[in-house]
Amino acid sequence: MTIDLFASLPDAWPSREPIAEGAVLLRGFAGPAEAELIAALREITDQAPFRHMSTPGGQMSVAMTNCGSAGWVSDRSGYRYDGTDPQSGKPWPAMPSAFQKLAREAAATAGFAGFAPDACLINRYQPGARMSLHQDRDENDFGAPIVSVSLGLPATFLFGGLKRSDKTQRYRLEHGDIVVWGGPARLAFHGVAPLADGDHALMGRQRINLTFRKAR
């Protein structure tokens, strides 16, 4: 029997916190699905282990991998989506059904019905790792939102405007929190402050971020 992990959720998620026009923070939304998410994550990383990608500016402090038909990759020449893992030469692992379901449900709750992600970028933050302010603009479809799931250690999420110089707001993201942004906020600059040390009961000394996108 398949249990619908979201069947008991009300139409209006009680911790639905608007953070900008088109951007919503869903506190604890992924909590009911954590066991499935963690098990699926282990299977993905067995096939496509985490690695530190290079960028035109140097090596990233965040380790990454992907699942889905498109994977985000980076090297000294720039950024792009590719269906093949450059490390193994094989297609990226398929996106697990638990990942797809969570992304669709979160997007719909945030006001973006019909979201069908084909890419999930998986970031591993260990103490001290950070993500500088950036826009997600390598996708072909800016009409689809970004769905970002936090697992493990808490992190400080920075969310700004459409210019890098715009003021950023700071949000503490805990295990199970999801941020969704699209529409007028789709190209907002965002990032993550250096991760503080700690030890999460389920995830250990790390934060895992699942970022769902419609890349193609």
SS3 per-residue string spanning the chain? CCCCCCCCCCCCCCCEEEEECCEEEECCCCHHHHHHHHHHHHHHHHHCCCECCEECCEECCCEEEEEECCEEEEECCEEEEECECCCCCCECCCCCHHHHHHHHHHHHHCCCCCCCCCEEEEEEECCCCCEEEECCCCCCCCCCCEEEEEEECCEEEEECCCCCCCCCEEEEECCCCEEEECHHHCCCCEEECCCCCCCECCCECCEEEEEEECCC
Kindly state the percentage of the chain with pLDDT values over 90: 86
Asked, for residue 9, whether it belongs to a domain, the answer is: no
The CATH number linked to 113 is: 2.60.120.590
Kindly state the percentage of the chain with pLDDT values over 70: 94
Asked, for residue 183, whether it belongs to a domain, the answer is: yes
Asked, for residue 5, whether it belongs to a domain, the answer is: no
Task: Show the domain range for 182.
Answer: 17-213
Asked, for residue 26, whether it belongs to a domain, the answer is: yes
Q: How confident is the model at residue 59 (pLDDT cuts 50, 70, 90)?
A: confident
Asked, for residue 1, whether it belongs to a domain, the answer is: no
Asked, for residue 10, whether it belongs to a domain, the answer is: no
Asked, for residue 184, whether it belongs to a domain, the answer is: yes
Residue 23: pLDDT over 50: yes
**pTM of the prediction?**
0.92
- For the stretch 170-183, pLDDT in tens is 999 999 999 999 99
How many domains does one find in the chain? 1
Asked, for residue 11, whether it belongs to a domain, the answer is: no
